[in-house]
Amino acid sequence: MGRWSRDEIEQAFEEYQRAALVAGTTGDWNGWADLFTEDATYVEHHYGTMGGREAIRRWITETMSSFPGREMPHFPVEWYVIDEERGWVVCQVWNRMADPGDGSLHQAYNFTLLKYAGHGKWSYEEDVYNPAHFATMVQGWMEARERLDRQTTDG
């Protein structure tokens, strides 16, 4: 048996998802960043490795307040697995853009590894994805917005 119960890890993961939804829809990423330990590590293959909660906070706040992050408010988890022995959660997360105005869905996924540290905190996150898929998805979203803008202007 691991250091933490499955229920504890599951509850912490539910809070992580709730905090991401609140952060994505309000633009305030502080509550989400507070779910990491002071010495947490965040590995983001496009942006690099961040060490410490405050570095994670600065990075996520800056990234999600600029384009395209500010247009990406939803992060639904399609599936997850809890490894109770290690205290890890592995999941597939959709990074979903806001509706461009025509009801179309624009999203790309990443695989996330979270390492639980107890007391509702995470000591590690790593996001693995193909940046080309994200670029294609964002391009499609931008094209949808431009079409709608032209229709509004021409219409």
Identify whether 78 is part of a domain.
yes
Q: Which tens digit of pLDDT belongs to each residue from 11-37? A: 999 999 999 999 999 999 999 999 999
Q: How confident is the model at residue 63 (pLDDT cuts 50, 70, 90)?
A: very high
Residue 135 C-alpha from the chain's centroid: 16
pLDDT the model gives residue 132: 95
> What percent of the chain is predicted at pLDDT more than 90?
92
Cα separation, 112 vs 93, in Å, equals 7
Residue 1 lies in a domain: no
What does the pLDDT read at residue 155? Answer: 61
In-domain check, residue 84: yes
- The predicted model scores a pTM of 0.93
> What CATH code is carried by the domain that includes residue 61?
3.10.450.50
- On whether residue 135 sits in a domain, the answer given is yes
| 78 contact partners, CB below 8 Å, separation of at least 6 | 91, 92, 93, 94, 109
Q: Is 2 a residue whose pLDDT tops 90? A: no
Question: What's the number of domains the chain is made of?
Answer: 1
Q: Tokens 């912490």 map to which residue?
A: 12
Range of the domain at 131: 6-154
